[in-house]
Amino acid sequence: MTVTEIGGRQVHVDAEGFMTEPSEWDEALGTVLASNIGMELTEAHWRLIRFLREDFATQGETATTRRVATVAGVPTKEQFALFPKKPAKKMAYIAGLPKPRGCV
């Protein structure tokens, strides 16, 4: 476990930089994480980030794009448009959650 400074505070991250302590996250930090990977968040992005947070809180696992499509009702296509190329990983990173481990 590594500690790094993001947005002026110390947070725990894994070797790749994904946060490992969901409780250290808040939306202000989410904005900084997004800018770290060159993204600016709109309300449409936030809707997904918030869903991921709520879903993780109840499921204990990061939602896959499939789950975001079926449970949050945001179509796959829209997820790729909002978080280009690697939607599952980018959403998880900004939401301060581990990478999804599901295959689908």
Partner 1 sequence: MSAPIVPNFDDSADEGRKLAIICSKGNLDMAYPGLILGNAALGEGIETHLFFTFWGFDMITRSRMGDLKFTPVGNTATHMPMGLTPLPGMTAMATKQMKKTIADLDVPDVPEFLEQIVAAGGHLWACRLSADMNKLSDADLYEGVEGIISATDFIEKTAGAQLLFI
- Quick one: which of 11, 34, 30, 90 has its CA closest to 1? 11
According to CB under 8 A, which one of 90, 95, 96, 97 is a site residue for partner 1?
90
Question: Least CB distance from residue 44 to partner 1, whole Å?
Answer: 16
Instruction: Decide if residue 4 touches partner 1 (CB under 8 A).
Output: yes
Binding residues for partner 1, rule CB under 8 A, total: 30
Contact region with partner 1 (CB under 8 A), list: 10-18, 23-31, 40-48, 50-58: 10-18
Measured in degrees and rounded to the nearest 5, phi and psi for residue 74 equal -100, 115
Question: Least CB distance from residue 75 to partner 1, whole Å?
Answer: 6
Q: Which of 1, 3, 103, 104 is catalytic?
A: 103
Give yes or no: 103 in active site: yes
Q: Which long-range contacts (CB under 8 A, 24 or more apart) does 36-45 make?
A: 36/6, 37/90, 37/93, 37/94, 39/83, 39/90, 39/94, 41/94, 42/82, 44/78, 44/82, 45/82, 45/83, 45/94
Catalog residues that contact partner 1 under the rule CB under 8 A: 2, 4-6, 13, 15-18, 36-37, 65-67, 69-70, 75-77, 80, 84-90, 93, 103-104
